[in-house]
Amino acid sequence: MKYTPLQRFISLLRLDKKDISQVFFYAIFAGLVSLSLPLGIQAIINLIQSGRVSVSWVVLVIIVIIGVALVGILSIMQLRITENLQQKIFVRSSFEFGFRLPKIKFEELYNQYPPELANRFFDTITIQKGASKLLIDFSSALLQIVFGIILLSLYHPFFIFFGLILLLLLYIIFKFSYNSGISTSIKESKYKYKVVSWLQEMARNNYSFRKKTNFNYALNKNNYLVTQYLEYREKHFNIIKRQFIQLIVFKVIITAGLLFIGGYLVLNQKMNIGQFVAAEIIILLVINSVEKIVVGLETLYDVLTAVEKIGQISDLEIEPNQTTNNEICYNNITLEAENINFKFPESGDYVLDTINLKIENSEKIFLEGDNGSGKTTLIRILSGLLQPTSGTFFINDDTYRKIDLQQYRSQIGTIINGETPFEGTILENITFNNPTISHEDIKWAIESVKLGSFIKSLPKGLDTKIFPEGRQLSSSNAQKILLARSIINKPKILFFEDALDRMDAPIAKEIIDFLTSNENKWTLIVSSKNPYWKEKCTRKITMQEGKISNDTKTI
């Protein structure tokens, strides 16, 4: 179901109904106190006009002062509640992103750049600040308008007409500006993120852009994106400007009309001077409230746009959260693919076409084929990263039990193309701080992938911090860390995409000998440009145009 930005925002607010109801309660109370002040001022003026300075006059003055102080205290209480709301929004958003980003289906990321999706978290700050402002300003402004119109109607029936015109104005401004305001705000935001994304690309490939011609290209593209942003920003500003012009015209007409009519009512003794002053104060409060709402529409557009941008992340389908009461313990694993087909979203051609394949326990399989032949896609389906478009993939001849991805992944190790170390220590990159992994297992994994001498050369050893993407590491050592990570839990199956292609040939041969050794009972499925894999694997599968063209045992 497709939700509108406003529906998303309302759903977000429902999570904190109790806090929001308190904000409205304080707003109602503060509105009533604020509008009682003109009545107190009216009474004080009447007493002064009569020339009577009495205890009543002093009491009224004290009551008005207390009312002003009380409104201030209520505002502080509202601020405390909205601060709590801001903190909750930030925490929820961070965990929403943290939970979803690793679980988004691989197919959903086909036309997406994950770091750009993560950038949208910064819209949380817009929601924090904007939602707080809207809750306080809009609630108090709307209540002041309603209470003010009710109070004015007690002075003279004409003010009822004034109230209806006021409500009609707000409706017109909102009705004819809302859709265009949201549309331009979303497009403005789209190009804002494109600018940030391109700057990230420039930072990530800064060596490539040092050459003058490349540098000029980078700046020209940045100029184009900024120009598009400014174009939609200007369109959005024109909507805001139009709303403000409408507000100014309204203020001029209403103020002039009320002053003339108020003066006429006083001159004809249908209102006394105290009522006139009180009415004018109320009218000023109401007009200021209208102005607060109209000016606040820009904040509303920003918040709804931010909610929509984050909502687009929530709309991406994630893998099902499978839980089983009895965890399956696989001693031996046999994989079978039956009539598997796969195509990417929005693509008419199948990447895999009628794949039938059975993989026995402990087989060492080398996948070969030209670029685009389907090797990578097949590995990702067998490793559970992708789900087949049609056909069946099952384990140990169990066609009746749906594969639990979490349990299956606990039995396998993978290295996919483009994977890099993350920011953290070398130990964290290998073990993910898993407390069940012993020191002996860590030592075994490190020595097996020929990483020991490098770690020993580091002053902090395993506690050495790695930069994002392993920027300070050689490509060879970065791959060794990923290899150690993939085998640390002694998995039943290993899936490798180009896992050793950046290493020197002698080291790569030693690691391949270890991975394909008969001592290691794991199943191995690998695609690589290194021809030594072909010599050591027990089976060779050739892919051609999405089909298996050859499947032979080599040993």
Domains and CATH numbers, the chain: 5-315 (1.20.1560.10), 335-553 (3.40.50.300)
User: What is the pairing mode between strands 523-527 and 493-497?
Assistant: parallel
Predicted confidence at residue 290, as pLDDT, reads 78
How long is the chain? 555
Looking at the predicted structure, is the pLDDT value of residue 32 above 50? Answer: yes
Task: State if pTM tops 0.95.
Answer: no
Looking at the predicted structure, is the pLDDT value of residue 218 above 70? Answer: yes
Over the stretch 118-176, which tens digit does the pLDDT of each residue have? Answer: 888 888 888 888 888 888 777 777 777 777 777 777 767 777 777 777 777 777 777 77
- Output the average pLDDT for the chain: 82
Looking at the predicted structure, is the pLDDT value of residue 230 above 90? Answer: yes
Looking at the predicted structure, is the pLDDT value of residue 326 above 60? Answer: no
Considering 65-74, 225-234, 412-421, the range whose residues carry the highest mean pLDDT is 225-234
Average pLDDT over residues 481-505: 90
Confidence tier at 444 by pLDDT (50, 70, 90): very high
Looking at the predicted structure, is the pLDDT value of residue 324 above 60? Answer: no
Are 110 and 380 in contact, with CB atoms under 8 Å apart? no
Distance CA 418, CA 24 (A): 51
- C-beta atoms surrounding 531 within 10 Å: 9
Looking at the predicted structure, is the pLDDT value of residue 546 above 70? Answer: yes
277-286, 348-357, 406-415: least confidently modelled range: 277-286
Looking at the predicted structure, is the pLDDT value of residue 445 above 90? Answer: yes
Predicted confidence at residue 400, as pLDDT, reads 45
Average pLDDT over residues 333-344: 88
| DSSP character string of 160-227 | HHHHHHHHHHHHHHHHHHHHHHHHHHHHHHHHHHHHHHHHHHHHHTTTGGGSHHHHHHHHHHHHHHHH
Structure tokens at 431: 């073990």
Predicted confidence at residue 371, as pLDDT, reads 87
Average pLDDT over residues 297-321: 85
Looking at the predicted structure, is the pLDDT value of residue 513 above 50? Answer: yes
Helix 17-49 and helix 139-155, axial crossing angle in degrees, nearest 10: 40
Looking at the predicted structure, is the pLDDT value of residue 251 above 70? Answer: yes
Structure tokens at 158: 């004409």
User: What is the pairing mode between strands 364-369 and 523-527?
Assistant: parallel
| Triad 268, 272, 277: Cα angle to 5° | 120
Predicted confidence at residue 442, as pLDDT, reads 93
Distance CA 5, CA 130 (A): 14
Q: How far is CA 72 from CA 67, 130, 146, 287, 390, in A?
A: 9, 21, 21, 21, 65
Residue with token string 């032979």: 552
Residues 532/533/537/540 CA torsion (nearest 10 deg)? -110
